[in-house]
Amino acid sequence: MKRSPAVAGMFYPASPSAIRKMVEGFLNEAKPEDLPELKAIIVPHAGYIYSGSIAGSAYAQIERNVPAEKRKNIILIGPAHFGLCEAAVGNYVSLISPLGEVPVNREMAGELERLGVKFDEEVHRPEHSLEVQLPFIQTVSSDSQVVPILLGTITPDQMAEILDPYFIRPDCFFIISSDLSHYLPYNEAVNTDKNSLTTIKNLDLTGERQVDACGRIGILTLMRLCKKHGYKMKVLDYRNSGDTAGDKSAVVGYAAVAAYKKE
């Protein structure tokens, strides 16, 4: 079974040429960073006109900092917006975007199923949080396979335990899909998101309730893995929809964050 796009033409262009031009534009705007042993990024998943430039700030660092053999498998994690699940792996043959097909590592997906992360087509089919990442992945790491995982009611401790063997594998790279605060007035959103990002940057598990994000479980899972294995977090970009789309009365926050090891 292959997963067809659910939000092409809504969250991002359905035209291959238009989406490639848009993604390349976002990547070209990004500031180059030196991020030794870059292992993971946190990126937003709104419509590209709102959050694509922030996502580009993180994706642009992959080709610069991650050799191809260290991103052979991309563990792609996002929140389940539709339907209830604990955690659901997308054990498809491939995921389709207007730029073509991204193969799924079915061996890894099958391993996760045996660990209790079941395949749930009803949860995956309408979901945008992973789909909007595909054109970026296809542009910066076209030879990668993905392991798509949606998170629901599972705890960060449970998910970190399941994913730990993959986090320490040298051929796995992690992408966590999450927006930050939702529909707050501009200044309140900035303050709320600042608190969230300070907690994330400091890997402050005692203050994790400060993290206000729709993909909170994925972020908290990554924080646990980074803390255990000696990775640091760096905020590469932060803006909200009031910055990118104009209306400041009720905004959504977006951040690009990198997990890496300082030299």
Burial class (CB in 10 A: 0-12, 13-18, 19+), 70: middle
Domain count along the chain: 1
- The reply to whether 110 falls in a domain is no
Q: At what angle do helices 156-167 and 216-229 cross, to 10 degrees?
A: 50
Of the candidates 13, 14, 39, the one whose C-alpha atom is nearest the C-alpha of residue 26 is: 13
Q: CA-to-CA distance for 103 and 81, rounded, in angstroms?
A: 23
Q: Tell whether 78 is covered by a domain.
A: yes
Question: Is residue 61, in this structure, part of any structural domain at all?
Answer: yes
Domain of residue 158, CATH code: 3.40.830.10
In a domain, 17, yes or no: no
Question: How does strand 73-79 pair with strand 145-151?
Answer: parallel
Burial 202-220 (b: 16+ CB within 10 A, else e): ebeeeebeebbbbbbbbbb
Tell me whether residue 156 is in a domain.
Answer: yes
Query: For residue 61, what are its two tokens?
Result: 């660092």
* Angle formed at CA 206 by CA 201 and CA 210, multiple of 5 degrees: 65
Residue 240 lies in a domain: yes
Other residues' Cβ atoms within 10 Å of the Cβ of residue 14: 13
Tokens describing residue 117: 């992360």
Domain span at 47: 22-90+100-105+118-260
pTM confidence score? 0.98
Give the pairing of strands 172-177 and 73-79: parallel
**CA–CA separation, 136 vs 134, rounded Å?**
5
Establish if 48 belongs to a structural domain: yes
Average confidence (pLDDT) per 10 residues, the chain, 263 residues: 98 98 98 97 98 98 97 98 95 98 98 97 98 98 98 98 98 98 98 98 97 98 98 98 94 98 75
Spatial distance between the Cα atoms of 238 and 253, rounded to a whole number of angstroms: 8
Structure tokens at 55: 């996502």
| Neighbouring residues of 257: CB distance < 8 A, sequence distance ≥ 6 | 41, 42, 58, 197, 200, 201, 233, 234, 235, 236
**Predicted pLDDT of residue 193:** 98
Residue 13 resides in a domain:
no
61-104: pLDDT as tens digits:
999 999 999 999 999 999 999 989 999 999 999 999 999 999 99
In angstroms, the first-to-last Cα distance of the chain is 43
